[in-house]
Amino acid sequence: MAMPETVTVSAPAKLNLALSVGRPDENGMHPVCSWMVTVNLFDELEVKRLEADYFSRYAVIWHAEAKRRSEINWPITSDLAVRAHLALEDRVRRRLPLQMKLEKRIPVGGGLGGGSSNAAAMLIAVNELFELGLSVEELAEIGEGLGADVPFLVCGGSAIVEGLGERLQHHDECPDLHAVLVFPDALCPTGEVYSAFDQIESGGLQADAVRRLPDSPLQAETLFNDLKDAAIRVTPTLKRELQRVSELAERPVCVSGSGSSIFIVCDEPLHAEALAAAIESKLDLPAVAVKAVGAKGGQIS
């Protein structure tokens, strides 16, 4: 069978249902323990194989359905999907010329792992496109050098993620999660949030508290994020948006990752759809209903 000419992979957003953060090590890196799940808000990555003597070319654009857009102004060689392609070329020690089109729905810098998911999607796509035969474990190993969330996003689904993202305990099934994602007009740069976290007293890494959560019914009241207060300190307007959304939803609102995206756990799909519509119409905030989805490997087309 001939190698495929084009491969498309859907790159899902991730939510931190729980996130505990430890104090930085001697290298300034913060160990974490997080319960992560992927949800059905996708960026779309299309890669086309080019002739052996062609140079690779890359395009990153906003999808027509994107709810929160920002300027795509970063150097293309710093894009995580492009870096994943270059890392694979280094791994197999040959050029893998391709054309990439990345259409983004996931907000940039929103704590939803969009860039990391794009990198994981690229690893999966190029492995398929050029029939490299690398295992999921090998792709995850390459992903460790790209970002802490990449190894998890190579598989997606639901997992406890520990250390610097390299220790994973995958779950056989995703939780029955229905939620609304809300995208405030606020920036929470990850480095600044972690710096602010270091200035706040904390109880240290609560790994056991995170590990216990998937064994119990999913309840918004039990979810937590150690970076929430730090994100608010960096971006004070986030506190106001959390309050507005919580008052309308009449339930707790959670922060994903280092922010600024926030989410509300809902009872069922219709509840999520209705709440997303209410947040958009009454609060003038972009919002979308989502549900947890399984492994990314099944989303190749």
Q: What is the pLDDT of residues 103-119, one digit of tens each?
A: 999 999 899 999 999 99
Query: What is the predicted pLDDT for the residue at 141?
Result: 95
Strands (E), the chain: 6-21, 32-49, 57-62, 98-104, 158-163, 167-170, 178-182, 224-225, 254-255, 262-266, 287-293
Lowest mean pLDDT segment, chosen from 89-93, 135-139, 199-203, 251-255: 199-203
- Contact between 223 and 190 under an 8 Å Cβ cutoff? The reply is no
Cα gap 299→126, rounded to integer Å:
14
Residue 28 has pLDDT above 80, yes or no: yes
Calculate helix-pair angle for 114-129, 80-92, nearest 10 degrees: 40
Average pLDDT estimate for 156-183: 95
pLDDT in tens, 252-272: 999 999 999 999 999 999 999
Indicate the pTM of the whole model.
Answer: 0.94
Strands 262-266 and 178-182: antiparallel
101 is catalytic: no
**Full set of structural domains in the chain with CATH:** 6-173 (3.30.230.10), 178-293 (3.30.70.890)
Q: Is the pLDDT of residue 236 over 60?
A: yes
Average pLDDT in the 67-90 region?
A: 94
Confidence of residue 24 (pLDDT cuts 50, 70, 90): confident
**Stretch 19-30: mean pLDDT, rounded?**
89
Asked if residue 256 has a cis previous peptide bond (ω within 30° of 0), the answer is no
Q: Which pLDDT belongs to residue 27?
A: 83
pLDDT band at 228 (very low <50, low <70, confident <90, very high): very high
Quick one: which of 21, 84, 294 has its CA closest to 170?
Answer: 294
Q: Which residue of the set 79, 149, 291, 296 is catalytic?
A: 149
Is residue 301 predicted with pLDDT exceeding 60?
Answer: no
Q: What's the average model confidence in pLDDT over 47-61?
A: 96
Confidence check: pLDDT of 57 > 90: yes
What local confidence, expressed as pLDDT, does residue 144 receive?
Answer: 94
Give the Cα separation of 110 and 255 in Å (integer): 10
- Residue 48 among the catalytic residues: no
Q: What does pLDDT average to over the chain?
A: 94
Average pLDDT (36-61) is 97
Residue 25's pLDDT is what? 86
d(CA 249, CA 6): 43
| pLDDT, position 1 | 60
DSSP designation for 227: T
CB 132 within 8 A of CB 90: no
Q: 49: which strand partners? A: 98
Contacts of 198 (CB under 8 A, 6+ apart): 23, 24
- Is the pLDDT at 297 greater than 50, yes or no? no
